Each structure stands twice: as structure tokens, then as C-alpha cells.
Amino acid sequence: MSLPSVRRVLLAFTCLPLVFARSVKRADTGNARVLILGGGVAGVIAARTLHKQGITNFTIVEARGELGGRLQTETFGAPGNEWNIERGANWVQGTQTDDGPENPIWYLVQKHGLKTQYNDWYGSVSTYDDTGPVDYLDVFNDSSDEYTTLTVVAGARVPKKQVDLTARAGYWLIDAKPRTPAEMACEYYQFDWEYAQTPEESSWIASSWGNNYTYDTDVGGFSETNQMSIDQRGFKYFIQAEAAEFLLPSQVMYDATVQNITYSSDGVEVALLDGTTLSADYVLCTFSLGVLQNDDVVFNPPLPDWKQEAIQSMVMATYTKIFLQFPQNFWFDTQMAIYADRTRGAYPVWQSLDITDFFPGSGIVFVTVTGDFSVHVEALSDGEVQSEVLGVMRAMFPNVTVPDPLAFYFPRWHSDPLFRGSYSNWPASFFSGHHENLRATVEERLWFAGEATSQKYFGFLHGAYFEGLDVATTLAECINGGGCAGLRHVPEITNAYPYVV
């Protein structure tokens, strides 16, 4: 596949039936057989799966005032020209080719009539550096070819049981060694913009299969097409509308933050921040990897070593979109732009929304940063970040008097205690056994699901969907069968060839 993916960006606020109103705050869940902790895509699809299996004694426990998880919107813009933009996920990544497999997110988007627009990441691109407009599209095209080669060579290592390496090592082994700011910015566009971390921090094999299983139809992927949500009800609308078809008011709790989970082989108790205690036979945790890593939820007893090792061995990456609104459009007329700074990762990927088929007349443009640079901007004030971004824009457009924006906004995913980042990434030191343990059941009662537990689609929205479906299907079989051991774990992750001392 020649397209990397991206994950996230723009639009909307929504209204749904009263079943999802904020006034529905507490439910009678003292005897709930299953508590689903988290109302994101994994949680909602898990609930739907239990419902279809005839299990209705469940409750979704959601810390926010609505369903959707990391699908969140923000009303943005000056009075009279306000738009709903996406803080989190924004694209359906891979849709369907002919009669091949269909991305389930694409199915739900079409089912619920969500408005989307094809986003051309490779045919509608302008290029800049700190001197202004500079044409290095030849470098960009080369970087796309190098990324494709990277995934192909990684795939060849799997049947030969060769060890995983970092994606940086993979790039070097195919003789792709970016040195100039333009080469580094184009590599960033292909890689970091997708995985929210650098090639040095990412698994060569896992990043390749996540890409291919999503986009490459030769290995069962959906398609190379990316559809961006431009629906003013918000991208979250599709999962909220799906939930509205089966979820009763008594089956969901809003504004309910989980603080402690006490578990044994006999059952589970969940303590909320407001002092409420819930009991259940089974609990399905769909917290983000970042929440588990930061002990934002305390388990009693502590999770076993094999589970903690798995949680700490994966990485929660951060993907930050920074939005600006101006009185009028003065920038590129393409959909996308790349800025090559002398510092790799400094405000490199830009997208215009003030164009035909998106938000014409909005005056909105946004720039994306990831990984450590996202952490950097979150450590600054809004004013400091705005100053840095405007400095870049004034370098990109030296012949334009760039005004201060009418509106400025960016989310702080890394420091948000409900998420602690945007989505998971697989480092080279993370083994398949670790991933099996990330999914594994604890004491037959604690179950786990989310995008991070998906081996094929970690970090993707459709990964959360498939994990909610697969794990809840197994849980339903366990419940309907009168109990089971759950998903197995690997006691110790070992090297095939131990170190020689």
C-alpha cells in the first residue's frame, strides 16, 4: 500500500434522542451482570454484541456526558462563523474496494447517513520550508515509494521468523536515509503522521501490518480511500445513533468516573469517584492504554505482573490538531501542505478546510503535531503555541501579512486523565505474547477491549470496533455457557535465543 493513514481531525456537535441526554445520569446497576467501563466504540459495540446474544443485564459506565470516547467535537470559530470540528478521530481509513471486505466504520457511517468527503493526501499537496514555498514534490513522491518498500520488506521477515526491528532500522536497511529538512518532513508525513511516533519508536513489522491490513487489498485490507467526516453532527454521531437502536436509559450511566476496581474469582466491585459502588459478575474494561499505564484506575489486588508488563510495554501516542481561523484564506489552494522545518516534527502537516467540498468560507486551517512535539505544545500556554504556529505561517508565506487569528484551539490529549494520549503504538520491544496478555482475562472476571488490544488494527477506529465485537462475543459465550476461563495469557515472555553472558 502506498498510502499511510492518519488518524484524526475535524467536526461537529450532535443531537440524539432523549435516551442520550445528560439528564440520564444514574441507573439501577447494583445487580448488573456485566459492567462495560467506557462508552467509546469498543464499549458500544461490546454492548450491542451482548444485546444480540440475549444478554441485556449490562450497563455502560461512561465518565463523560455522552457516548463516543475519543470521538469528540468542539464548536470553533468567531461568532457568526462557527463550525464543529473534531478533537479526535476524523477519518474512515479504508472503505471498501468492489465486493471486497468493508470497513465496519464505513458501514456504520453509511447506515446512519454521516456526511463525508474524500481527502486527497497524495494528489493535492503543496510544499514549504522556512524560506517560503519550495517545490520538493519529487522528494515527497520518493518518500511514498520508500514507505511502500518498507512495508514489503517487513512482510518478508515474518515467514522467515526474523526478529522485529525499529522502523528506523528498516528504513536504513532499504537505504532510505533522510538528511535534509525536506526529506525528513516527507518521511514524517508518511510515517509519524500515521503512528503519532517516530520510526525510532515504532515496530517495523507491526507498523507495516497495521498499514497493510487496513489499506492493502492484497492482504485483506479495505481500500486506499480515506473519507473525512464533514458532518456538523460530528463523527461521533454514527456510534451514538447505533447505540440508540438498542440501548435503554437504564443501561447507561453518564458522568460516572471509575476510581477503583476490586476483583476476585467470585465477582467484581467498581467504585466511582462520587462514592457509588457497583457490583457485577463480569467487568469489561475499555479504558485507553494511557489510563491503564498511569494508574488512573486502581485495581485491587494489583493486576498480575504479566498483565502490567504488557500494559507498560506498549506506548500511548499523542496526535494533536491545532486549529486557526482567519478573516480570509491566504494560504495554499491544495487540500494538504507540508512544512519542512530544520527541527523534525515542528508543525509539519497542514490541511485547509476553507476549500470547496469541505468548509468553504470558514477561514479555518489546521496543523498537526505528534509524539514528543505534542507533549511539548501541551507544556506551553495557548498563547505560546499560537505564537510558535504564527511564526511558522509567516515563514511559509513571506509575502503575506499574516494577521492574528480570530480563533485558536487545540486539545490536550496527553494530559487528559480520561485518555492520557490519542491512541496506541507498537514499539519494536513489544512482542506478540505481550499483546496476547494485553487482551487476556484476569481471574475470569476482568476482561479488556479497545483499539490497543487489536493486533491487526491497533491505533485505528476499526480496531476498537473489532475488539468490542470479538471480546464481547467470547464473553457472551462464557456467560451463556455458565462460566469459562476467558482469554488465556502467556506466563512469561522470553527470547528464542537468550543473551550470552
**Where are the chain's structural domains?**
34-70+235-314+428-481, 73-232+319-409
Question: Is the whole-model pTM more than 0.85?
Answer: yes
pLDDT digits (tens, 9 = 90+) for 25-75: 333 333 459 999 999 999 999 999 999 999 999 999 999 999 999 999 999
pLDDT the model gives residue 32: 53
Q: What residues contact 295, with CB distance under 8 A and at least 6 apart?
A: none
The DSSP code for 404 is P
Cα 469 from Cα 476, distance rounded (Å): 10
Cα 164 from Cα 183, distance rounded (Å): 25
Superfamily of domain 34-70+235-314+428-481: FAD/NAD(P)-binding domain (3.50.50.60)
Cell of 160: 522467515
Contact between 343 and 433 under an 8 Å Cβ cutoff? The reply is no
pLDDT the model gives residue 423: 98
Gap between the terminal Cα atoms of the chain = 42
* Sign of the dihedral through C-alpha 296, 301, 306, 307: negative
pLDDT the model gives residue 5: 35
Contact between 83 and 359 under an 8 Å Cβ cutoff? The reply is yes
Segment holding 41, helix H or strand E: helix 41-52
Decide: helix, strand or coil at residue 92: strand
pLDDT the model gives residue 177: 97
Contact between 70 and 288 under an 8 Å Cβ cutoff? The reply is yes
Contact between 434 and 478 under an 8 Å Cβ cutoff? The reply is no
pLDDT the model gives residue 105: 98
pLDDT the model gives residue 382: 98
73-232+319-409: CATH class: alpha beta
Consecutive 10-residue runs of the chain (501 residues): their mean pLDDT?
32 30 33 87 98 96 98 98 97 94 97 98 97 98 97 93 96 98 98 98 94 89 95 98 97 98 96 97 98 97 98 98 98 98 98 97 98 98 98 98 98 98 96 95 96 96 98 95 90 78 66
pLDDT the model gives residue 218: 87
Print burial letters for 187-201: b (CB count within 10 Å at least 16), e (below 16). bbbbbbbbbbbbbeb
Name residue 302's beta-bridge partners: none
In degrees, rounded to 5, the angle at the alpha carbon of residue 341 between the alpha carbons of residues 336 and 343 is 130
Cell of 500: 550470552
Cα 411 from Cα 319, distance rounded (Å): 9
pLDDT the model gives residue 499: 66
Print burial letters for 240-249: b (CB count within 10 Å at least 16), e (below 16). bbbbeeebee
Closest to 184 in 3D by CA, of 389, 341, 392, 393? 341
pLDDT digits (tens, 9 = 90+) for 144-167: 999 999 999 999 999 999 999 999
Backbone torsion region of residue 483, taken as left when φ is above 0, otherwise alpha when ψ lies between -120 and 50, otherwise beta: left
Cα 261 from Cα 141, distance rounded (Å): 50
